[in-house]
């Protein structure tokens, strides 16, 4: 083949395209081959080092949650017609897959109270970045204004995308756990392309979504974007009723397991005026020549189709199988079920917050209302406290500073509650965390005495 194209070697072929600065001029350092039986034993030993949410009492959250996934979801997702197909390029033979997309879009639209939803994107942070690009196309502004309460991963993804456009990301600080309203207004002007916040925010606090949306519109003409937790929409006002233009979010809580961080799916809903600028695909309902109900890909402004460089995204297969799990889960819950789930989380989260904040050495990071997650500050080293809890089979939550990198989050712990965490589990958390914090305080006191 090299002779046919006139290239002397593989290295010469690569040299034409790959810059010198990124070439690896050494071997990969891979170990020698081993018998399959040995490799299997080695991989099994590595797997045993992992601890799953089924092996410990886990209060981890920060965007991924240990919700119960009904057996119905696995049964449907593992059917070959859903598990194996690729993008439905031929709608006439992809009716089942297209109908799933259509039903999923309908569910997301109803959940968010926004008229248009696409057939999913990769995950929550990339959905935020895609919404930012939509805003850039819509009004041409040169700046994104984001609340510091947006998930740190979403902020970083948005920064990465904004860098390619030569755009600026301005971060608005929090005040007592929620977006500072005065700083929010001051940051938004005619150059602001999008104003972005989270509901609830990363620290678990419920934002005044209607006030933030109204203030953004009064201060400029940005596209108002909210990253929302879908599970909370059973008891919170939906973004469409709060003046939000685009609602995006992480779909993992809807019928998708943790699975070591993925895959999951992202959802994307918007007002109708943004329809032509939305990423990915939209399935539509129609009738065939005989008047029978059928489904088609109504919108597919993707680079691998006719749009090429004018595409609104490079999303190809997206996460349609995971989105199927999402719509099955919402159907399984039903309209009343998602409300009852939200009410259950609200009650247990408040019980857990009061229980933990009654401990010596634990105080709330903020006093705002919370639904399914809350932040506390610990006396002592959070990593050391987590290690002590782990030794008792409890994971008390996420080390805030580890994710945000913010000095003000030092000592912060983010605790998440799902319906799988009972009142007895919360009592156990309080018992173990209290002992771990006390032990940390005693060690700190001993070290101080030695230093003196």
Nearest to residue 381, comparing CAs of 395, 367, 357, 402? 402
Q: How many angstroms separate the Cα of 311 from the Cα of each of 249, 305, 337?
A: 22, 8, 38
- 445 sits in the region (left: phi over 0; alpha: psi -120 to 50; else beta) called alpha
Give the mean model confidence (pLDDT) for residues 197-222. 96
Q: At residue 210, does pLDDT exceed 90?
A: yes
State the Cα–Cα distance between residues 93 and 294, nearest whole angstrom: 11
Beta-strand pair 223-228/192-199: parallel
State the Cα–Cα distance between residues 155 and 133, nearest whole angstrom: 14
Q: Which domains does the chain have, with CATH numbers?
A: 57-66+335-446 (3.90.1150.10), 71-330 (3.40.640.10)
Q: What's the pLDDT band for 26 if we cut at 50, 70, 90?
A: confident
pLDDT tens readout for residues 432-447: 999 999 997 666 555 5
pLDDT tens readout for residues 172-185: 999 999 999 999 99
Cβ-Cβ contacts under 8 Å for 391 (sequence gap 6 or more): none
Cβ-Cβ contacts under 8 Å for 277 (sequence gap 6 or more): 134, 137, 138, 312
Q: Quick one: tokens of 145? A: 């204004």
Helix ranges, 358-405 (H) = 382-391, 400-404
Q: Using the structure block, give the residue that is written with the tokens 């009972």.
A: 422
Predicted confidence at residue 449, as pLDDT, reads: 47
State the Cα–Cα distance between residues 421 and 396, nearest whole angstrom: 12
Give the mean model confidence (pLDDT) for residues 27-41. 93
Q: At residue 242, does pLDDT exceed 60?
A: yes
Cβ-Cβ contacts under 8 Å for 74 (sequence gap 6 or more): none
pLDDT tens readout for residues 335-369: 999 999 999 999 999 999 999 999 999 999 999 99
Instruction: Express as a percent the part of the chain with pLDDT over 70.
Output: 93
Q: Specify whether the CB–CB gap between 283 and 91 falls below 8 A.
A: no
Q: At residue 303, does pLDDT exceed 60?
A: no
DSSP string, 199-235: ES-TTSBPP-HHHHHHHHHHHS-PEEEEEE-GGGGGT
423-451 helix and 382-391 helix, angle to the nearest 10 degrees: 130
């Amino acid at each position: 083949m090299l002779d046919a194209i006139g290239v002397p070697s593989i290295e010469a072929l690569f040299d034409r395209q790959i810059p010198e600065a990124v070439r690896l001029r050494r071997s990969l350092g891979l170990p020698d081959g081993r018998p399959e039986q040995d490799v299997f034993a080695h991989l099994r030993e590595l797997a045993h080092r992992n601890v799953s949410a089924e092996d410990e009492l886990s209060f981890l959250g920060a965007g991924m949650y240990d919700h119960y996934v009904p057996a119905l979801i696995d049964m449907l997702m593992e059917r070959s017609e859903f598990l194996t197909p690729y993008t439905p390029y031929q709608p006439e033979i992809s009716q089942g897959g297209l109908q799933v997309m259509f039903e999923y879009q309908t569910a997301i639209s109803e959940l968010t109270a926004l008229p248009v939803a696409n057939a999913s994107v990769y995950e929550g942070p990339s959905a935020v970045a895609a919404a930012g690009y939509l805003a850039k196309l819509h009004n041409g502004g040169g700046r994104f204004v984001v609340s510091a309460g947006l998930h740190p991963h979403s902020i970083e993804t948005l920064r990465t995308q904004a860098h390619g456009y030569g755009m600026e990301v301005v971060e608005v600080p929090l005040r007592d756990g929620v977006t500072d309203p005065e700083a929010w207004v001051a940051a938004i002007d005619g150059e602001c392309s999008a104003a972005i916040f989270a509901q609830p925010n990363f620290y678990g606090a419920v934002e005044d979504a209607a006030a933030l949306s109204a203030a953004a519109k009064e201060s400029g003409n940005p596209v108002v974007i909210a990253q929302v937790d879908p599970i909370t929409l059973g008891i919170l006002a939906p973004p469409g009723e709060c003046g939000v233009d685009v609602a995006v979010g992480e779909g993992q809580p809807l019928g998708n397991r943790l699975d070591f961080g993925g895959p999951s799916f992202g959802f994307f809903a918007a007002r109708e005026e943004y329809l032509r600028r939305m990423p990915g695909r939209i399935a539509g309902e129609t009738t065939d020549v005989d008047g029978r109900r059928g489904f088609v890909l109504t919108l597919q402004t993707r680079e691998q189709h006719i749009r090429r460089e004018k595409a609104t995204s490079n999303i190809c297969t997206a996460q349609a199988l995971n989105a199927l799990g999402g719509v099955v889960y919402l159907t399984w819950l039903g309209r009343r079920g998602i409300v009852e789930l939200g009410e259950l989380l609200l009650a247990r989260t408040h019980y857990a917050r009061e229980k933990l904040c009654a401990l010596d050495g634990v105080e709330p990071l903020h006093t705002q209302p919370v639904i399914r997650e809350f932040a506390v500050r610990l006396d002592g080293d959070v990593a050391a406290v987590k290690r002590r809890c782990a030794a008792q089979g409890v994971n008390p939550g996420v080390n805030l500073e580890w994710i945000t990198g913010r000095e003000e989050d030092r000592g912060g712990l983010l605790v998440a509650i799902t319906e799988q965490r009972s009142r007895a589990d919360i009592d156990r958390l309080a018992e173990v965390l209290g002992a771990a914090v006390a032990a940390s305080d005693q060690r700190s006191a001993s070290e101080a005495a030695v230093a003196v």
